[in-house]
Amino acid sequence: MSDHWVDICIQERLDAGELLSRLDDAAVQGAWEDEGVVHLYWAEDQWNDEKLASVQSVLADLVQSSRAIPLSVQRVPSQDWNEAWTRSVKPLRIGRLVIRPSWEPVVLGPQDIEIVLDPKQAFGTGHHATTRMLLEWLQTDIRGGEHILDVGAGSAILAMAAVKLGAASAIGVEIDSVAVDCAKEYVELNGLADRIEVLCGTLADLPQGRRTTADLVLANLDRQTVLNLADDLACSALGGVSILVSGILVEQQTEIMDRLSSLGLACLERREDEGWVAMKFLRPESCDGEISRC
């Protein structure tokens, strides 16, 4: 093993956990975000041009933009990356929700809700705007007793937040088997295994009966995945079910709204943060209560 490391500095606000998951490279020795810069580390003898091309490809997919993402590669001496990474991950407050790693205790107020989540190779720690907007939205939309369907569950942070806010149960669907394993650990760690089920697969793999019994559908995905799943998402929006969609850049929102509108869904509300958009969709009903097929 080399005594030196390669530090990849990415000048973009990204979820480091999501980036790790998309790279799917066991050779990555550390990843974290620090003041708007994401750092990735490889041992020098495990770094090559193919790794760089993979990082660039994943970044283009994550950001969904034609612009070049500022990136630099530098050689640094060896150090304890795990210790440095641990020091960099701090508790995060989003409204009443307090998300913290297990090694960082916090003092909770009487209305605070705690989620313990140690960042691993499964994305969704709450730091990224796409996740943060939905966590904020859940705090106003969860009334109590809802059944949640979380599509592209990642770390299951949205499902856990929904249940801790009062939802009765949640089903998370995720295609990344590593993320599924991590999500199950998080659900167990937070004492929610009896109320949250995380399944490996796509929305289409979930039996139709389980798709249509949700009261609220969460879809923190990306532009192409939302477009691919549009028909299945629309089929889940029966009987007044809301769909919260995130992971969409501002310049992509019109395409998403047009596609879901063509399937009879209306965008009722939207939120914007750091160039990302979250939208709430609902299937309108006619005056006599029948579902409109506009």
| Domain harbouring 265, CATH code | 3.40.50.150
- Same-domain status, 69 and 96: no
- Same-domain status, 133 and 14: no
Whether 166 shows a pLDDT value over 90: the answer reads yes
pLDDT digits (tens, 9 = 90+) for 142-164: 999 999 999 999 889 999 999 99
Domain housing 63: 4-87
Reported confidence tier of residue 66, pLDDT bands at 50, 70, 90: low
- Same-domain status, 36 and 95: no
What is the average pLDDT across 13-27?
73
From the list 194, 206, 197, the residue with the least C-alpha distance to 156 is 197
Q: Considering the entire predicted model, what is its pTM? A: 0.76
> Distance between CA atoms of 282 and 260, rounded to whole angstroms?
10
- Same-domain status, 163 and 229: yes
- Same-domain status, 266 and 131: yes
Residues with Cβ < 8 Å from 139, sequence gap 6 or more?
95, 96, 97, 165
Q: Can you name the residues that pair with 172 across neighbouring β-strands? A: 150, 198
Whether 82 shows a pLDDT value over 60: the answer reads no
pLDDT, mean over the chain:
84
292, part of any domain: no
- Same-domain status, 15 and 125: no
> Distance between CA atoms of 113 and 95, rounded to whole angstroms?
9
- Same-domain status, 185 and 249: yes
Side-chain-facing half-sphere of 31: CA atoms under 13 Å: 25
- Same-domain status, 31 and 65: yes
**CATH number of the CATH domain containing 18:** 3.30.70.980
Bigger pLDDT: 88 or 195?
195
Looking at the structure of the chain, the number of domains it has is 2
Give strand ranges (E) for 3-146: 4-10, 30-34, 37-43, 71-77, 92-94, 97-100, 113-116
Q: By the 8 A CB rule, do 188 and 52 touch?
A: no
Side-chain-facing half-sphere of 51: CA atoms under 13 Å: 18
Which region among 38-52, 67-81, 114-128, 135-149 has the lowest average model confidence (pLDDT)? Answer: 114-128
Reported confidence tier of residue 291, pLDDT bands at 50, 70, 90: very low
